[in-house]
A and B are shown apart, each in its own frame.
Chain A
């Protein structure tokens, strides 16, 4: 259990276009979803925290108009990179947080990531 999927797994787009990445919790409902960005050989950097039905909370330095997050249901969150530029090229990873049956705490379960290349 606790599987998180992301779609697409990779995407190439032209500069100036927008790209939407989906994050789904397949077999559980997620109270909160998170979006991370990872540059090559670097750590995961939290971009924003997303709760179903409310506005996302963005980390300092992350442009909310650039990275639009929608959390329409307890199993789906989307990240839209608007007017993408080459510097937005990166590996984007989502996670979904839940407290599964039998566990006394919440755990973050990670998606496989989406590689974005902006030409």
Chain B
């Protein structure tokens, strides 16, 4: 069965420090992975997806099939990056999302 694991519930970093939010997945098919972000009191929104290979708000994520990982990285954290981040895997014939448990990122001054 498919599974998405985000080992850290809370990650606290100082402003300007590098950030890495970990995500590992388990899936027998060809994975399509996403990062969603939820800012305080706002709805869940798509941050990036691996097939587009974009960099959004300075964040990047590379799919590593050997390690079954899709870690989210940013070289220099900003205060406005503080939010809840969810890693998600597309399954079910290509239209269902399986979410990880989320990581709360707190960027301190």
Contacts and interface: CB of A to CB of B under 8 A. Distances in A.
A40 B102 CA distance: 12
Judged by DSSP, the binding face of A is strand
Contact of B44 (A32, A106, A110): A110
Interface residues of B, number: 18
B86 A43 contact: yes
Contact of B102 (A43, A95, A112): A43
B44 A93 contact: yes
A115 to B, nearest CB: 12
Interface in A76-106: 93, 95, 97, 105-106
B11 interface: no
A4 B42 CA distance: 12
B63 to A, nearest CB: 15
Given A32-B95, A97-B95, A113 B102 contact: no
Interface of A: 4, 32, 34, 42-46, 49, 93, 95, 97, 105-113
